[in-house]
Structure 1
Amino acid sequence: MKQNEILNPIVQEATVPVLSLAPQVDRPSGHTSVVYLAAPDPGFREPMPLARPPRLRELLRRTHWRYEVDTAHHWTSLSLALPAREEAFRFQAWVSLTWHVQDPVTVALRRMTDVRPMIWGFLDQQLRAISRRYGIEDSGLAEEEMSVFLEHKLGDTDYGIRLGLVSVNVRPDEAAVNHLVTRLESKRAKALAEDEHALETARQKYAAELAELSGELEQAQVAHAAHIEDLRSQQDRKLAAVTADHDLALRRQRVDFYRNALQSGGHDVLVLHLSEHPEDVQTVVKMLQAGRKEEYERAQQLLQKLLDNNLINAADAEPIREHAMEGLRPGSAAPAVILKKEHETARTRTTIDAEVQKTTESVEIPMA
């Protein structure tokens, strides 16, 4: 509804003439209604409606008026500046509605030449009470309540006009919108600052936790390395002790072996030497053969002296000579066989030494 728009439901208003050449005939259209009013009696302020056109006698007595009233349906819209809960801001409400004359007599009696003030005043009074309950950020809720209210409240009025609702649209005005934008930007900036602060706090916390975990990891690595080093040292000490015990046992075995070898003769020493240096077999064999040959020559000389002095006969000396010759026969026996023969030779030598000892007890034999 424009501010200077006039919504006049009275199509025509005229005084009924007393004398008229043409007869008084009413021909209202399909969207109008004719109403007659008579001047009030003394002591009354409002005219009196008539159910029919006045007669001549009535016209002579008082003044009559004829009204042709528009009864068609009309559509209109208007905007209202309604206060919000915050008194400094307002809602801008656009209301679209229909109106039509429900009671032409009332319209004629009130001489309503413009229904706009009536519609505006009615809506402003009713909707203002609703708008004050809502803040500018709750325009949707205010619009919803206004729509429900007008759907039930609109209808017949005291002015002979019937109103019908089409729609209601409520929005904050420009100042309120600017305030909302500023407040929203402030909230966003605050939320962004809080998020950045929370993010920075989380980063610092994460960095502190990471540093703590790194320190714990480094300490664990140092402790683990120390533990490994301690275990390695213990293992080295155990190994050194075992090695020392083993070396000591070997040394004792060698000492015992050397002691036994020295006590039993030179052959055990040769066996020890051959066990460590098998490549010296031929040399040892030659050395043994040379020793046997020397012993054989000595035994031959001794037997010859015994024979010369008639201490033994030839029959007794022959087995001894054969046994001595057995050690001088050439062969390729293994060192173990040679050593076995050496032991047999040693036994022979012991036997000869015993015989010699018996002989020397009775006869002194000069040595060559």
Structure 2
Amino acid sequence: MSSCLVPMKRKLSSATRSVSPPLLRRRLSPSKSSSTPNAGSDKNELTFYSWNVNGIGALLQKQIKFSSKSIYPLRTFLKDHNWPYLLCLQEVKINRNDETTQRRVELAANAGGLPHEPTYTTHFSMPKDKYNATGFGGKVHGVASLVRDDGPPYSVRRPDWDLEGRVLIHDFPSLQLTVVNGYWVNGTSNPYRNPNTGDVDGTRHDHKLRFHAHMLNLCKSIEKRNWNVLLLGDMNIAPKRIDGHPNLRTSPDQHVKNRADFNDKFFNQDNEDGLGGVDVFRHLHGEKRKYTYHGRGRPWGESCDRVDLIIASRKLVEAGAVSGTDICDTPKERGHSDHVPLWVSINVGKIVAEIDGYSNG
């Protein structure tokens, strides 16, 4: 069983509630969170996982025989992590026209399930940029989300500006919460081509900065509705010196500029045009050293970075709704990938109390 287990969740009310105004921004003091949620914790919670799988094939091909049924590694992962409500996967590497593999993902998530166990619905965003997303036979990038079928109602959308299959947006109206599954651009000096003409339009570093701006605009539009936003995924940025081992990447200089732009847009409370969000791992675990990227071919822990993050709206944290988070940083959890999973638990009762409190006030 995993060292990052979370409790099963019960079905939640889908009653519509009025929108609450945002709380005032203020500095947050770090609170404590156990490395795993307690087995007896409030069942009125949702747990979200994120994992850059670096290709989903290994989770679909092998099978574990259990009685007369076959359980795929993907189903095993869900079971071992106590059936998360939402599993956000990045770098699934599926061609957008490969419907067979997309169906296999949903099969692998559900095959072999027992009657009392939850089932999942899958959603995908695949690359369609013919100039910038053609690697691996058109299977480069790609994100997928697996959503439990027994939770609150939701809808899924894909932003028009994302042509590389990097973003899935999940809206939960009854909770006034949007969860974004993202595989953020990795900045390099390689050329970026205009997706309409194919002409060179700067570098992948420039494209990364534009991606930051798009994601910030998305977050601001969500918060403008007085909803909360939760960003999960591989963000290809280690925010602070403590997030890189043995060193933080600083060369070439553009990596430093990309990091400064990211931190200013998503964490800086003094930037009125930014999100002013909360890095929930740092908020709940302080200066604890854990990492999400562990490159293969080198001894475990020799070179690693915390580039997969979970960022929450500040008012979501102020309401006490972020009840736990951790990084499953072990070789076993990394599996076939070069990243490990991470998770966050959201106390739905705190969200509902906040919504009801403002509507009654």
Please indicate, yes or no, whether the TM-score normalized by the shorter chain is above 0.5: no
Normalised by the length of structure 2, the TM-score is 0.18
Greater Rg, structure 1 or structure 2?
A: 1
Normalised by the length of structure 1, the TM-score is 0.18
Q: Which has the higher strand share?
A: 2
Q: Which has the higher helix share?
A: 1
RCO higher in structure (CA 8 A, sep ≥6): 2
